[in-house]
Chains A and B, each alone.
Chain A
Amino acid sequence: MKLMVCPLNGPRAITEFAYGGAVRPMPDPDSCSDAEWSDYVFNRAGSPGIKREWWCHIASGYWFIAERDTARDIVVGTFPPGARDAPA
């Protein structure tokens, strides 16, 4: 079982976490085209590589950002959802 380092709680077994989807910058809903919006809502990049994702430590309800390399199956790093990491 993999371990993940929660920025709040330290290293924990992966079963303590829930995946919350990729971190995706939302296009401006008022100015973007229907096609751009649909692309944002429905399309995800599945190719192997570094992914920026939302993860939740279930027991504490703490959400953070994790960078995972899906080609190598390793967690590169985890960060609190600060201004640098979390898009508005």
Chain B
Amino acid sequence: MAPSRLGHVMRRLDPHPGEWIDRSLPLGFTFEGREYHGFSGDTISSALAAEGVTYLARSFKYHRPRSILSFANHDSNVLLCVDGVPNVRGDVTPLIAGMRIEAVNTHGGLALDKARILDYLGRFLPVGFYYKAFHSRRYFAYWERLFRRMTGLGQVSLHAVRRATPKRYGFCDVLVIGAGPSGVAAALAAARAGASVTLVDEGMRCGGSAVSHAPLQKLIDEVYQSASISVRPQTEASGCYADHWVALVDRVRLTKMRAKAVVFATGVIEQPAVFRNNDLPGVMLATAALALLSRHRVSPGRRIVMIAANLEAYEACLALSAQGIRVEAIIDLRSQQEALDADAEMQNCAALGMEILHSHAPYRAIAGPDGAVCGLDYGPLDPNLRVDSRKLRRISCDALLMSVGWAAAAQLLQQCGGKTRFCDSLQQFIPDELPTGTFAAGRMNGVYEIAARIADGERAGALAAAHAGHGRAGDAPVPRSTRRPSHRFPIIDHPAARNFVDFDEDLQVKDLENAIQEGFDSSELLKRYSTVGMGPSQGKHSHMNALRILARARGISPGELGLTTARPMYHPVPMKYLAGRSFHIERRTPLDSDHAAIGAVWMPAGNWRRPEYYARTGENREQSVAAEVRAVRNAVGLIDVGTLGKIEVYGAQAGIFLDRVYAGRLADLRVGMTRYGLMLDESGVIVDDGVVARLGQEAFYFTTTTGGSATVFRELLRLNAQWGLDCALVNVTGHRAAVNFAGPLSRDILQPLCNVDLSEAAFPYLALREACVAGIAARLLRVGFVGELGYEIHVPAGRAHELWQALMEAGRTLGLRAFGVEAQRVLRLEKGHLIVGQDTDGLTDPIEANAMWAVGMKKPFFIGQRSLKILAARGPRQLLVGIEISAAGRLPRECHLLIRDGEIAGRVTSILRSQTLGKAIGLAMVVPELAASAGELAIRGEGGEMIAAKIVPTPFYDPQLLRQKAVTAA
């Protein structure tokens, strides 16, 4: 049969048993604006090929026309934009009716792409071009603009709809990756042993690339019937992580699968031969042609030439022939002697009229007027694997198939820690050391014959099930193949190059040789410099050939180079599958809605949201804060302090425990009293503070800072586990609400609501009382944080709203105001109270913080004591002091520097304007000499202006503590 026209054209053939397409369901779609039709069961590429579309894509660098190469998820040239979604792989994406498909990386369409001129400018684009182009800063901007315009595969839409893609979690005994003959057998063997099995495969159906085979079909049927095997086609195992944690990616979502054992039946990836113009449309892998033909009934061509170097080439020719496709010639890289493993198949091919040429190799493919392959120049191969260009012969063809070798799909195995070694006789990397609980089977394991692959799968499946606790298994290995499925150097030099090693990145043999010449002569360096294997297919069709080129240049075996590191993901994964849910914890106190009802303006405090202040009409932020402060100083204020960590500790040795974890003495605290507590770490640094109350002889209740509650509680649990004291801790942070009711009128307002005597004699400063407030069981603590008579009232969280409303109502006519965090900061700063984490940092000890009054150095032991002794002997590096600024004008901000004699002498830790005192006050960490001098100093403010300040003693307000002790109260 003569070709009806010059060049390569594919077409749909008549129906054939076993085809995957459903001809009763035609699907219309558009490609580059033109209408086409395919069938249900087509992929995008098979539908376009069946319609005779020659160009499916332009290549990344030279804009050469490209079409189907692998048809197995490695056609990284055929990335399409489908309905606005970029990076869609044509070879594996099922066709859907109405798809609008666009090519990418073209300037004016596939056929007329203006950028195809780059193919003629190739010599100006040497290997490592970016490194060379961007070497000079002078031209950087020029090149950057050019590349931004010219490069990239498709456009990301900035208007894409945000879609949530929830992840799934899966569990199984045995996960089998790959549903070819060995994977199917492994799944069955594991299921027979009693294991729950998940079988995943990236293909649409089980069976892998194996062509129809009756015993295999029977196994596949059994797999589908088995109740304990979950089959997941079109699912890629994309990443293997610790302890058999495998990321499974399907067309909808990511599943995080935890398996007890994993069988890698990942198979092998067919590798292209490398010769001039091996990228023309119509040049493809033999497995691609077979899959197109048997699944989608797309004829790869009318006159086919096979480039062969293994048994599989002859099997493919026979399979094509059996389906009515004519194979003109088989160009075998091997000598007749080397090809004896395919002796029977060779005779059958010869009998069918195929011309078989041993020790010959392709020299260059010829492009027809349409740019697709129309012929091949080939010649005899010398022992150095070079073609003598003087002895070339030409054969015309419209499809050129390649079957010269395989690369193990060992990437996932490597990701979970598996080691590989190069097997010279197979010319393939095979598993060497497997991590516990992982097993390899099939062609990836070097077992090629189909019966042996099934046996190897059964072995691995039984072992995996036994590892997961089901059944027992012997470890009699299945022998590896003795024939050579892969050629040792299927790479033909050509002076004019365009013999592509990496189709993603348009890398030719000379690019790699030049990179090696320039010194990048290890596999990892070669990869990074030349970018071989760094494109979308991640070296699946280029890594082995690149290794062979590097090995030849260095005169060693690929095994001595080793595979480059394989990292997740195995295939590209949509970002939306990986993205989290923008989930941020925000805790709310039980009083949250009470705050909202009266105009709370929120601020974050640790994980909590707290009212910064309460906005009122007619007031700005400063005025509201000032009014809240005035209410506390002159009448009464109410603040929600439920965010404080709240912990109870019970037991005979509870006091001893607290004496060890707090710097101050607590074991001697009387029942019904409270004391300020300072917590240090082992190096003597302040890590937390709070109030400790003694509820009973063996019971304490204490608070921690808002931000520190979780970590402090966890560390206290650890210390309790370490010391083994007779006490136990309970975290009641969420169980209890707390408010601080403070101001000169607080006692008068609270007394009528409360069933205990609040008089100074009965309930003095720093005392604790269990009482009933507004009918609610409460713990009352006399505290002085804001510097006024005040009561912290702790109640069960469920009663907080009632308490809040009762207090608000009781004070309504007496000037009561709810106050927020900002007013509290003013109030505490007027008292000179430090905030741990604001006025102290990760190096501040109590000596520096002027807090030694809260430290009991005479105690036998507390955490940080020994370090404090060393620090005390050494003297402080800095000291926390009070500062004031009298002048009006812009204030410095926290962390602004104190300057003395042109040198940094400290920094501001807190600063604000006090209405109560009529001046700006603050705290600052300063060098000790400055602290002692008590003199004038300067702060460098925003923009560099110098602001005069002076060091003053603290507290700024009520230094004798008369108000909080209520000495002046009636």
Contacts and interface: CB of A to CB of B under 8 A. Distances in A.
A64 to B, nearest CB: 8
Given A41-B683, A86-B724, A29 B718 contact: no
Interface string A25-45: 000010010100110111000
B683 A61 contact: no
A37 B721 contact: no
B518 interface: no
Given A38-B870, A41-B682, A42-B683, A56 B242 contact: no
A32 B256 CA distance: 51
Nearest to B715: A20
A81 B242 contact: no
Given A3-B243, A41-B682, A56-B714, A86 B866 contact: no
Task: Using C-beta atoms within 8 Å of the partner chain, give the interface range for chain A.
Answer: 20 to 34
B106 interface: no
Interface residues of B, number: 23
Contacts of B721: 63-64, 81, 86
A37 B717 contact: no
Nearest to A73: B242
Given A2-B243, A3-B243, A88-B723, A20 B867 contact: no
A34 B715 CA distance: 25
B717 A41 contact: no
The winner among A1, A40, A73, A88 for most chain B CB atoms within 10 A is: A1
Contacts of A41: 682-683, 867
A18 interface: yes
B657 to A, nearest CB: 14
Given A41-B682, A41-B683, A56-B717, A87 B722 contact: yes
A3 B861 CA distance: 38
Interface in A15-71: 18, 20, 29, 32, 34, 37-38, 40-42, 54, 56, 58, 61, 63-64
Contacts of B241: 1
A29 B865 contact: yes
B870 A37 contact: yes
B577 interface: no
Given A41-B682, A42-B683, A73-B242, A29 B722 contact: no
Most buried by A among B242, B722, B731: B722
B718 A54 contact: yes
Contacts of B870: 34, 37-38
Nearest to A80: B721
B415 to A, nearest CB: 13
A86 B718 CA distance: 11
Interface in B232-266: 241-243, 245, 256, 258
Residue of B245, B683, B715, B866 ringed by the most chain A CB atoms within 10 A = B866
Nearest to A87: B722
B867 A37 contact: yes
A59 to B, nearest CB: 12
B120 to A, nearest CB: 51
A24 B258 CA distance: 34
A81 B420 CA distance: 41
Contacts of A34: 870
Contacts of A81: 721-722, 724
A2 B717 CA distance: 24
Interface in B702-728: 713-715, 717-718, 721-724
A66 to B, nearest CB: 13
A34 B714 CA distance: 29
Nearest to B731: A61
A34 B872 CA distance: 12
Contact of B866 (A2, A29, A42, A73): A29
Contact of B722 (A38, A42, A86): A86
A73 to B, nearest CB: 7
Contacts of B718: 20, 54, 56, 63
A2 B867 contact: no
B790 to A, nearest CB: 33
Contact of A2 (B242, B683, B723): B242
Nearest to B243: A3
A37 B722 contact: no
Interface in B680-702: 682-683
A29 B683 contact: no
B682 A18 contact: no
Contacts of B256: 1
A19 B231 CA distance: 38
A58 B713 CA distance: 11
Contacts of A20: 714-715, 718
Nearest to A63: B721
Contacts of A54: 718, 722
Interface in B869-904: 870
A20 to B, nearest CB: 5
A81 B719 CA distance: 11
B682 to A, nearest CB: 5
Contacts of A29: 861, 865-866
Nearest to B256: A1
Nearest to B860: A30
A47 B258 CA distance: 31
A85 to B, nearest CB: 10
Contacts of A87: 722
A81 B721 CA distance: 6
A81 B718 CA distance: 9
B158 to A, nearest CB: 33
A15 to B, nearest CB: 11
Given A2-B243, A88-B723, A18 B865 contact: no
B277 to A, nearest CB: 47
Contacts of A58: 714
Contacts of B731: 61
A61 B722 contact: no
Contacts of B713: 61
Contacts of B717: 56, 61, 63
A53 to B, nearest CB: 11
Contact of A37 (B242, B243, B724, B866): B866
Nearest to A3: B243
Nearest to B873: A34
B656 to A, nearest CB: 13
Contacts of B245: 1-2
Candidate in B242, B243, B715 with the most chain A CB atoms within 10 angstroms: B243
B861 A61 contact: no
Nearest to B720: A63
A4 B245 CA distance: 13
Contacts of B865: 29
Contacts of A88: 722-724
Contacts of B722: 54, 63, 81, 86-88
A1 B243 contact: yes
Nearest to B242: A2
A54 B719 CA distance: 10
Interface string A72-88: 01000000010100111
The 9 closest A-B CB pairs, nearest first, are A29-B866, A63-B721, A2-B242, A81-B721, A3-B243, A63-B718, A1-B245, A41-B682, A41-B683
Interface of B: 241-243, 245, 256, 258, 682-683, 713-715, 717-718, 721-724, 731, 861, 865-867, 870
7 contacts: A1-B241, A54-B718, A61-B717, A73-B242, A83-B724, A86-B722, A88-B724
Interface of A: 1-3, 18, 20, 29, 32, 34, 37-38, 40-42, 54, 56, 58, 61, 63-64, 73, 81, 83, 86-88
Given A41-B683, A63-B721, A86-B722, 8 more contacts: A1-B245, A1-B256, A2-B243, A18-B714, A41-B867, A56-B717, A58-B714, A64-B721
